[in-house]
Amino acid sequence: MTVSSDDVRHVAGLARLELTDDEVERLRRELSTILEYVEQLEGLEAGRATELPAPDQPLRPDVVERWEDVRPLLDAAPDLVDGLFRVPRVIE
Amino acid sequence: MSSGHHGTAAALAGAVRAGETTAAREIENAFGRIREAAGLHAFLSVREEAAREEAAAVDRRVAEGDGGDLPLAGVPVAVKDNIVVARGPTTCGSKLLEPYVSPFDATAIVRLREAGAIVVGKTNLDEFAMGSSTENSAFGPTRNPHEPTRVPGGSSGGSVAAVAAGCVPLALGSETGGSVRQPAAFCGVVGVKPTYGRVSRYGLVAFGSSLDQIGTVGATVEDAALLLSVIAGSDPHDATSASDPVGDLSAGLDDGEVAGTRIGWPAEYFGEGLDPAILAACEAARDALAGAGGEIVDVSLPHSPYGIAVYYTVAIAEASSNLARYDGVRYGLRAGAGDLSAMYLKTRAAFGAELKRRIMLGTYVLSAGYYEAFYGKGTAVRARIRGDFERAWERVDAILTPTTPAPAFKIGEKADDPLAMYLNDIYTVSANLAGIPAISVPWGRTPEVPDRPALPIGVQLMGPDFSERRLFEIARFLERKAPPP
């Protein structure tokens, strides 16, 4: 499996990661090596989906719970104005 | 080491309940030991003030005659810094969460408090639990207490080092591919990965959601089991937590019968690449079980060699999705000015090299054109790995293997070879992929050779879903038979 520099840049864009040229080259080599290792799965037969670990997942009662003190939640925000999260303008 | 209670957590809790010592005294002793071991860098933060208040509350309960039902009364516990404790930091070993203060307790922490335990500090880890050495922490590596030039393993390296160095008798870690068992083996303590769903993940920062489980670390099997008893059980805040009854996991482990127990010995785990001293340790553990009337049965887990390849499709895909939330909007670090896109890019630039590698790999295997070939294939082979185990359980009660292929490596030794680092987890990932419980128990040390001192060895037991109690009984037997650490 050979990954190209363009592949790396495309995937970095999808993942919202900004990479230097050195990082692109290093990741190109590392991704190629690791994906080549993963290719040993090719040709193996699939198992039954029922064999995947799956706990019973009961739904909890749909009851509203009050979070008494919302202040610490809001205080975690990097930029808060009047109880609202401020972000850079997205619509001109 | 400073004065203080050097017994097990179980004994310490008993002494606190009986009024022979106090929670306040025990946590001060723990703080003293943490300060003495500061060079290991096991802790990222110590919560002295909050812990003192909580200890005083436990002591008041005991004094009022109301402490009789506190299984961990006054026991100091260390917590991996990807499990949230209210009103304190949870960094995940990352610059991204360095400013974060949690507004709530994880369910495991709530249960620790209800049991009378005192969280004394948060421990170092590979960034977002991604790594096998604790070298990937943004705040610097943790050192192995047995040999400080070597890694403690990871990603729960801080929690394990804290127990191995005697700072605390108990610690919480987390597992996605062996992050409790591998460091436990490297540091000579007991590490438990419970059945998927056994412990609520509410308040555990997500890495690979189909794999993640909070695990326990203790100096003894009984202690690790006691800690699991306290934190296990269903939780309305985590729909994947199992409703199966927990039962008492730690009482009377010495009475567990090994005679007649069928122990599986899978050839796939004893092939090329296994350190001869670790092979010899497994054989000695096997012979001890056979000597006590255990029945050793050859089993085959033919898909185990594909574990790492499957893991690095499934885990990284889930990781890249889970890490998409770190965008600098609602909490954590925000960097960059100008437009929204620049803010995302500059904020996420704070991820370390291993995080970027995994986000890139995960995004790649989930991207158009590659999803079926990688993620789809990984999931399909994962079912085969679980199927191998299900067939084995028709013939055996538990499976005995090494925990790691080699003992603790040197700091920096594998830093430039990600694949070599990943292969460290070859014997542990299958339990996570299959969702089954597993435990690592110390079994002596490697012989001293030039350039390598004697280092701890761990042997691993795996069992069917929710067989923790049985595994603890067998592990307790091995603990009694093991050569001195």
Non-local CB neighbours of A28 within 8 Å, separated by 6+ positions: A3, A4, A5, A7, A8
Residues 410-429 of B with CB under 8 A from A: 418-419, 422
Q: What is the pLDDT of residue B6?
A: 60
B24's enclosing H/E stretch is helix B23-36
Using 70 as the pLDDT threshold, list the residues of chain B that sit under it: 1-6
Nearest-CB residue to A38 (from B312, B320, B357)? B312
Q: Do B386 and A15 touch (CB under 8 A)?
A: no
- Interface ipTM: 0.93
Nearest-CB residue to A11 (from B329, B367, B380)? B367
End-to-end CA distance of chain A: 43
Polymer length of chain A = 92
B398's enclosing H/E stretch is strand B398-402
Q: Mean pLDDT score of chain A, rounded to an integer?
A: 89
Q: What is the pLDDT of residue B170?
A: 98
CB A20 within 8 A of CB A5: no
The torsion angles phi and psi of A41, rounded to 5 degrees, stand at -75, -20
Q: Which of B155, B200, B320, B440 is catalytic?
A: B155
The answer to whether B367 is a known catalytic residue is no
User: For residue B147, what are the β-bridge partners?
Assistant: B144
User: For residue B440, what are the β-bridge partners?
Assistant: B191, B460
Q: Give pLDDT tens digits along chain A (92 positions).
A: 789 999 999 999 999 999 999 999 999 999 999 999 999 998 888 887 777 777 677 777 889 988 888 888 898 999 999 989 999 988 77
Q: What is the pLDDT of residue B484?
A: 82
CA B230 to the chain's CA centroid: 16
Residues 427-446 of B with CB under 8 A from A: 434-436
- Which tokens is B285 given? 């553990």
Rounded distance between C-alpha atoms, residue B85 and residue B104, angstroms:
6
Residues 14-53 of B with CB under 8 A from A: none
Coil/strand/helix, residue B236: coil
Q: What is the pLDDT of residue B25?
A: 97
Rounded distance between C-alpha atoms, residue B271 and residue A38, angstroms:
20
Per-residue burial over B144-183, b if 16 or more Cβ lie within 10 Å, else e, is bbbbeebbbbbbbbbbbbbbbbbbbbbbbbbbbbbbbbbb
Rounded distance between C-alpha atoms, residue A50 and residue A21, angstroms:
44
Shortest Cα distance, chain B CAs vs residue A73, angstroms: 6
Please tell me which residue of chain A has the smallest CA distance to B346. A18
User: Each residue of B150-179: pLDDT tens digit?
Assistant: 999 999 999 999 999 999 999 999 999 999
For residue B132, how many C-alpha atoms fall within 13 Å in the half-sphere facing its CB? 31
CB B104 within 8 A of CB B84: yes
- Which tokens is B53 given? 């208040």
User: Each residue of B416-436: pLDDT tens digit?
Assistant: 888 888 888 999 999 999 999
